[in-house]
Structure 1
């Protein structure tokens, strides 16, 4: 299987990370990985590093991307800095989830209703979006040690139940990864936490998409000759040219 990694795919990746600046470790072999609800409102910045794993003699420069993550009780948003695009998910009163693909430079967005996501087989899991880890696999993580990263308490875990083990450093108070690394499909994906704040204390100006031009996903077929729509089709969920 060939995996093509593009800017547009990064906000949805299950991320991986290697972080330094740790203090003395202490083993906690039986400490389970927990997700404590409700989750605190958080703003964080990450760097994702993608490296190819192959036996050829050709050197491959790793790809690096900075991106930001915003979490509140009913909304999750990512902002990919290299191309100034992002994604957002909103949890509706009935528990369904609406989704938007955001293009900040062009001030345009593509709006997906919950029914659209169901129709294209892309139904998001809120807890997974909110924590950046697969909550279905929490019981597989085994604690290895604890320390501090960026002045915050973390516990290091590994999941060795898969063919490609996952490494995780879990920020306990923030309920987010500080370190998450996974290998697979010829790549190692490593994401490290750069900074984390309470949502209201973040030093960055969060993009405001309220006045963006909106295109409903259901109307994309009627606008396939529009220059902007044509340019972004490969980046969109549920289109024939979209790469997963």
Structure 2
């Protein structure tokens, strides 16, 4: 079992983390590296929260590249976003994350292992107990809107994929960052980061609308599932048992 498979699982208090920056500033997570999730200060007058469109239902394919010691690590991953479901899947390791919101507004999380056809479910209560209950808009937006126009200053516009895009630039600690943002789709077209000993780049490769047929499909419907709350109760499934034992050992 790899570190990637267990990094978000722990018997006591290790919360599921969004990929990648929102919980830890300027750190790229291996799972679905390079989306930008940074908590920052209050945004300036030019914040995307003002008059921003609702995040559209989209299918998107991204490529992320991490340069470490001159060696590139390239990963392709997909995003499917609808009004009540945000699903990410990383191609190389076959892992993914699904965030869902029910009719009452409660948010749940699924840690997906596609190769093993397994899902670890976190209920809204689990997320709250772990201190990891998110704001839905920040999940759907991919990038924290307060980052754009706040820590990153608006520096102009450009055209990409036949659309008008906004350009932002700034520093987050010791890391410089550039974002090309598609405001109508509420998605990044490109994110570049450069810091000590590491450079990263995220680029949007494909973008399409979610059709009624595709939006209703559940890619994990036939998978074996386990509730996070039951992970520590000596699960009988061999994969979940190894997952728990490895997480306990690392903890």
2:59 is matched with: 43
2:177 is matched with: 166
2:48 is matched with: 34
1:13 is matched with: 20
Provide TM-score, normalisation by structure 1: 0.75
**Do the aligned partners of 2:148 and 2:168 also contact (CA within 8 Å) in 1?**
no
Tell me, in whole angstroms, the C-alpha distance in 2 between the residues paired with 1:143 and 1:202.
Answer: 38
**Deviation for aligned residue 1:202:** 10
1:215 is matched with: 226
Q: Which has the higher contact order (CA 8 A, sep 6+)?
A: 1
Tell me, in whole angstroms, the C-alpha distance in 2 between the residues paired with 1:48 and 1:234.
Answer: 31
1:199 is matched with: 210
Answer with 161-170 or 92-101: which moved more.
161-170
**Secondary structure of residue in 2 paired with 1:228:** helix
**Do the aligned partners of 1:166 and 1:183 also contact (CA within 8 Å) in 2?**
yes
Which runs of 5 or more residues in structure 1 are unaligned?
A: 18-29, 53-58
1:132 is matched with: 142
Which runs of 5 or more residues in structure 2 are unaligned?
A: 9-16, 22-33, 37-43
RMSD: 3.4
Mapping 1:1-244, distance limit 5 Å: 6=4, 12-14=19-21, 15=34, 32-35=46-49, 36-52=52-68, 59-140=69-150, 141-160=152-171, 162-184=173-195, 186-200=197-211, 208-223=219-234, 226-233=237-244, 240=248
| Shift >6 Å, 4+ stretches | 7-11
**Secondary structure of residue in 2 paired with 1:211:** coil
**Do the aligned partners of 1:31 and 1:143 also contact (CA within 8 Å) in 2?**
no
**Do the aligned partners of 2:122 and 2:227 also contact (CA within 8 Å) in 1?**
yes
**Secondary structure of residue in 2 paired with 1:62:** strand
Provide TM-score, normalisation by structure 2: 0.73
Number of aligned residues: 218
